[in-house]
Amino acid sequence: MRPRGASRSLSDVTTRKIIIDTDPGQDDAIAILLALASPELEVLGITCVAGNVPLPLTTRNALLLCELADRGDVPVFAGCARPMIRPLVTAEEVHGKTGLDGPEWDEPRLALQQAHAVDWMIDTLLGASDGEVTICPIGPLTNVALALVREPRIVPKIAQIVTMGGGYFVGGNVTPAAEFNVYVDPHAADIVYRSGVPIVTMPLDVTHRALMSHEWITQLAAIGTEVGRKAAQMLAFYERFDMERYGSKGGPVHDPATIAFLLEPGLYGGKDVHVAVETASPLTMGMTVVDYWGRGGEDPNCRWMTEVDADGFFDLMLERLALL
């Protein structure tokens, strides 16, 4: 873990090319803003998928976030409007009817790109060098899975897939067994975990160990910018659901863990494990079956994170969001 209070320098940074695949969502919003605020990351594009809310809203929200960050240079693409096999499940009860409830939003001025997200992802990866691009899926894995199925030649182009999803020690958050992103499209998650691409997973096991406080949200608002104000309003709305559900003093903010790991991997600790995804059982559909103790004999296919320097995580987000 990074020592508390260690300084971070933004000079002489090495830029990492990433694609953010997302279904914004307030916690997706913070992840996107964190990435756009960080010079270490070159966001090649944002690909949208149905999940927290339907696709017309996830694309709208991604455009609004690029405008909020004054990053109209980042292209946004519409992807899959439903999971590969199952009907779409959404989460308006958590995120509100727009997905970004909390602040007041105008309609976006930016426009979507014409290409389908999966087509653009494939073309971008085929044009990259081996191991050049990291994919950060922070919603259901439909777009990523379809790209892998349609064009297996993209596999060596991907340095890592750093994703938020699943749970082992804490179970699920949409059913007793399944976390939302995996539950929405378990068949896509199954494809991704069997793809052979190096995967880092930020599951509920780690995101539930970093809970927002009212004091931190107040600090975010006190930045005094539109980004800080709207981010605080989004998170104040968002955390109410988990606080009511778990009886905690604050709620987890899941998706920014992926971006924080790219920026400061020392904030996190985990273990190389084999992960399989349940796609058949009605009782455990979408469960991430984590062979944490190596009982199944399968080679690891994932780095499963379980430890986090929570103070460092929240310090990093506050520091970077203040730059926008």
> 249: closest CA among 223, 203, 221, 216?
216
In a 3-state reduction of DSSP, which class is residue 61? helix
Q: Buried (b) or exposed (e) across 245-280, using 16+ Cβ within 10 A? A: eeeeebbbbbbbbbbbbbbbeebbebeebbbbbbbe
Full DSSP string of 174-232:
SSSS--HHHHH-HHHHHHHHTS-S-EEEE-HHHHTTSB--HHHHHHHHTT-SHHHHHHH
Q: Is 187 a residue of the active site?
A: no
11 pLDDT higher than 70: no
Taking the C-alpha atoms of residue 95 and residue 100, their distance in angstroms, rounded to an integer, is 6
Q: Would you state the pLDDT for residue 248? A: 61
| Contact status, residue 117 vs residue 49, Cβ threshold 8 Å | yes
Whole-number pLDDT of residue 10: 55
pLDDT at 2: 41
- Residue 87 CB neighbour total at 10 angstroms: 7
Q: In this model, does residue 243 exceed pLDDT 80?
A: no
Residue 1 confidence (pLDDT): 37
Give CATH for domain 16-321.
3.90.245.10
Among 240, 215, 179, 234, residue whose Cα is nearest residue 314: 215
Residue appearing with tokens 């073309």: 123
Average pLDDT over residues 96-112: 97
Q: Could you give the CA distance from residue 138 to residue 162 in angstroms, rounded to a whole number? A: 9
Going by DSSP bridges, is the β-strand pair 268-277/199-202 parallel, antiparallel, or unpaired?
unpaired
Rounded Cα distance between 111 and 81, Å, is 18
Angle at the Cα of 202 from the Cα atoms of 252 and 220, rounded to 5 degrees: 40
In this predicted structure, the answer to whether residue 158 has a pLDDT above a threshold of 50 is yes
User: Catalytic one among 116, 187, 214, 254?
Assistant: 254
Helix runs in the chain, H state only: 26-36, 55-68, 92-95, 117-126, 142-150, 180-184, 186-193, 204-207, 214-221, 226-246, 256-263, 310-321
Judged by DSSP in three states, 272 sits in strand
Cα–Cα–Cα angle for 252, 275, 299, nearest 5°? Answer: 140
Look at residue 224 in the predicted model and tell me its pLDDT.
96
pLDDT value of residue 239: 80
Among candidates 272, 263, 170, which has minimal Cα distance to 211? 170
Residue 190's pLDDT is: 98
Q: What is the pLDDT of residues 105-127, one digit of tens each?
A: 999 999 999 999 999 999 999 99
Condensed to tens digits (0 to 9), the pLDDT of residues 31-83 reads 999 999 999 999 999 999 999 999 999 999 999 999 999 999 999 999 999 99
Is pLDDT of 240 > 80? no
Look at residue 9 and tell me whether its pLDDT is greater than 80.
no
Query: Which of 50, 45, 56, 59 has the alpha carbon at shortest distance from 80?
Result: 50
The answer to whether residue 21 scores a pLDDT higher than 60 is yes
Cα(216)–Cα(314) distance, integer angstroms: 8
Residue 7 has pLDDT above 80, yes or no: no
